[in-house]
Amino acid sequence: MSNGKSKALGVFALAMINVAAVLSLRNCPSMAIYGWSSIGWYLIGTIAFFIPLTLAGAELATGWPLGGGVYAWVREAFGEEAGFVAVFCEWSNNLVWFPTVLAFIASTFAYFLNPALANDNKFMFVVMMVAFWGTTIISLLGERTSSRFGSFGVVAGTIIPATFIIVLGLAYWFSGDPISLPPFSLSATLPDINISTLPFIAVVVLLFAGMEMAGFHALEVKNPQKDYPKAMALSAILIFVLAVATTLAIAIVVPVNQLSLAAGLMQAFQSFLQSFNLTWVVAPLALLVALGGLATLASWLAGPALGLGAVAAKGNMPPFFARTNKNGAPTGVLILQAVIGTVVSMLYLFVPSISTTYWILSAMTVLLLCIVYMLMFAALIKLRYSQPGTPRAFKIPGGIAGIWVTGGTGFIACMFTFLVSLIPPANYEHMSVLAYAMIMLIGTAILALPPLVFLRLKKPSWNIQPKKEVQG
Tell me: pLDDT of 411 over 70.
yes
Tally of domains within the chain: 1
pLDDT digits (tens, 9 = 90+) for 265-291: 777 788 888 888 888 888 898 899 888
Within 10 Å of residue 268's Cβ, how many Cβ atoms?
Answer: 27
- Residue 465 maps to a domain: no
What pLDDT band is residue 467 in, cutting at 50, 70 and 90? very low
Which amino acid, 157?
G
Per-residue pLDDT, averaged over 85-109, amounts to: 84
**Domain extent at residue 124:** 11-458
Residues 6+ positions from 282 with CB-CB distance below 8 Å: 111, 266, 269, 270, 273
- Percent residues over pLDDT 90 in the chain: 14
- Residue 269 maps to a domain: yes
What pLDDT band is residue 75 in, cutting at 50, 70 and 90? very high
- Residue 471 maps to a domain: no
Per DSSP, the residues of 182-197 read PPP-TGGGS---STTT
- Residue 20 maps to a domain: yes
CATH of the domain at 417: 1.20.1740.10
pLDDT digits (tens, 9 = 90+) for 187-238: 888 888 777 677 667 667 667 777 776 665 655 667 766 777 788 788 888 8
- Residue 430 maps to a domain: yes
- Residue 410 maps to a domain: yes
- Residue 339 maps to a domain: yes
Within 10 Å of residue 192's Cβ, how many Cβ atoms?
Answer: 10
- Residue 24 maps to a domain: yes
Instruction: Answer for the pair 425, 89: CB distance below 8 angstroms, yes or no.
Output: no
pLDDT for position 2: 44
